[in-house]
Amino acid sequence: MSEIVGGSSAGKTQLCYAIVANTLLHTKYNVAWLDSNGSFRSHRLVEFINGRGIDDTDVVNSLLDRICVARVSDQTQLLDALEFIDEKMETNNFRLIVIDSIFEMFDDRQLVENMTRSAVFNSILCRIGILTDIGCTVLVTTSAKNEKNDLNKAWTRQMKSRILVKESDGLRTLHNLNAGAGAPSRYCCFRIVHSGLKNTESS
C-alpha cells in the first residue's frame, strides 16, 4: 500500500489520474477508484489519456470501461467497497485500487457502541492487506494536516511507500518520505497542464 500526502490542491488527485492512465494504457488490468467527495472527473482522465497520444474515441471509451468509480462517504461503505473488490477481483481483473482522500471517509457518528476509530482503522487495514496479498496495488491519498493525529501516524506506519506533494507557484515537487535520516534529498518536479503532468526537473 502506498500513500500520497499533500495539502489541498497540491496535486494528489492529478498524480492519481496519471498513474491510472498509465495502468490502463500499459496493462490489461482494471482499476477501482473509491471517491470520498465526488471529485473524480472522467473528462480529466480522458485528457491524461489524450496527452499520451490516444485520441480515438472508441479506444478511449474502451479504456474508460476498465475503471470502476464508487462514491464512498463513510467507513462502512469503504469496508463494503473493499469487500466487493475482493469478491470481484478475478472476474473484474482489478489490480489497482485508488482511495482518494481516505481520511474523509471516516465519520465518528457512524461508530457503533464499543467500536472505536482505532478498531475501524484496523478492520480497513486488514481488508486492504488481504487485497495486497493477492496482488492488488492500493494507492491512498491523505491530507498533510492529518500528520499530527497520533492514530493517523500509526496508520501511516503501515504504508510501504509514502510520497509528499508540495505546491509553490504552480510547481509541484514530489518528496520521498521513506528516506531515512541523513539520506540524500531527492525530489522530482512537475506542472499540471491540460494534457496531464509535465516533468520539469529532478534532483
62: left (phi over 0), alpha (psi -120 to 50) or beta: alpha
CB 98 within 8 A of CB 34: yes
Per-residue confidence at 122, pLDDT binned at 50, 70, 90?
Answer: confident
84: left (phi over 0), alpha (psi -120 to 50) or beta: alpha
> What pTM value is reported for the model?
0.90
CA 38 remoteness from chain centre: 14
Q: Which architecture, in CATH terms, is 2-171?
A: 3-Layer(aba) Sandwich (3.40)
DSSP 72: -
Model pLDDT, residue 155:
72
Domain boundaries, the chain: 2-171
60-69, 119-128, 143-152, 159-168: segment of lowest average pLDDT = 143-152
Cα dihedral 53, 59, 60, 61 in deg (nearest 10): 180
